[in-house]
Amino acid sequence: MVSLLNTKYVAYINARRPHVSPCIDVSNIKFEIIDDDYFDIQDLKPTIKQPLGAGSATYKNPTNKIIVFIDYENFLKQIPEDLTKELKRCDFIAYDLGGKSFFLFE
């Protein structure tokens, strides 16, 4: 997914506004792999996963699925604003590595 964002999605964003200088690379995509059974997440912090009770949202993962959280908002902030105008933004994209679940977090 990280590679997809950096290649295909950046290409899509560039194609939306061909008159604007293109974004070449977003190589610093912040993501974390989490398999804890209970955890919190928080945007605008150095790490996505926070101690239980310290974040803005608490998650239960009783089967300890391996979940990748991508800081989508941070990803878009690395692209010039002229290219990302009018794009809807969620805070995080999350998916389990087993390929059964996909989430967008506001």
- The confidence score (pLDDT) of residue 69 equals 95
Q: Per residue in 22-61, pLDDT tens?
A: 998 787 899 999 999 999 999 889 999 999 999 999 999 9
Burial class (CB in 10 A: 0-12, 13-18, 19+), 93: buried
The band of 98, judged by pLDDT with boundaries at 50, 70 and 90, is: confident
Torsion of CA 12, 93, 46, 25, to 10 degrees: -20
Q: Which residue has the tokens 């993501």?
A: 31
Asked if residue 41 lies in contact with residue 57, where contact means CB atoms within 8 angstroms, the answer is yes
Q: Per residue in 81-93, pLDDT tens?
A: 999 988 988 999 9
Indicate whether 105 pLDDT > 90.
Answer: no
Distance from C-alpha of 16 to C-alpha of 34, rounded to nearest angstrom: 33
Distance from C-alpha of 7 to C-alpha of 98, rounded to nearest angstrom: 22
